[in-house]
Amino acid sequence: MDAKKILQKLTEYRYPLLVLLIGVLLMLLPGIRSPTAGEEKSCEFASLVERIEGVGQCGIALSESGVVVVCEGAEEPAVRFALLQAIRAYTGFTSERIAILKMTEH
């Protein structure tokens, strides 16, 4: 192919090639990862749960299939019950889909 035909083909397909080039550049750029809706929801709920008396520091993982809570006060039955009630009210999950675990000390 001569240069004239190559230039004609590039001109003919300039928009798809431009979109392809932009897509490749976007994939190569280091991504700024924003939190997902689930992560934002977990952080929001964790800050709320930490205000329950006796809970202490906690971490929460929310998914469509269940909830896992790891907190300092999980060994106390009253704290576990309060957490269970809060999680059930917030998520609508039954207690079978909720795990409350004691946080280890480092």
Q: Quick one: average pLDDT of 52-71?
A: 90
31 against 45, higher pLDDT: 45
* Residue 4 confidence class, pLDDT cut points 50, 70, 90: confident
Do 98 and 53 reside in the same domain of the chain? yes
d(CA 59, CA 57): 7
Query: What is the per-residue pLDDT across 5-38, written as a single tens digit (0 to 9) for each?
Result: 888 877 888 888 778 778 777 777 766 555 565 6
Structural tokens at position 56: 């202490």
Whether residue 77 is found in the same domain as residue 50: yes
Q: Which domain holds residue 87?
A: 37-102
- Same domain, residue pair 92 and 44: yes
| Geometric angle at alpha carbon 87, from 85 and 93, rounded to 5° | 100
Same domain, 53 and 75: yes
What letters, b where the CB count within 10 A reaches 16 and e where it falls short, cover 50-75? Answer: bebeebeebebebeeeebbbbbbbbe
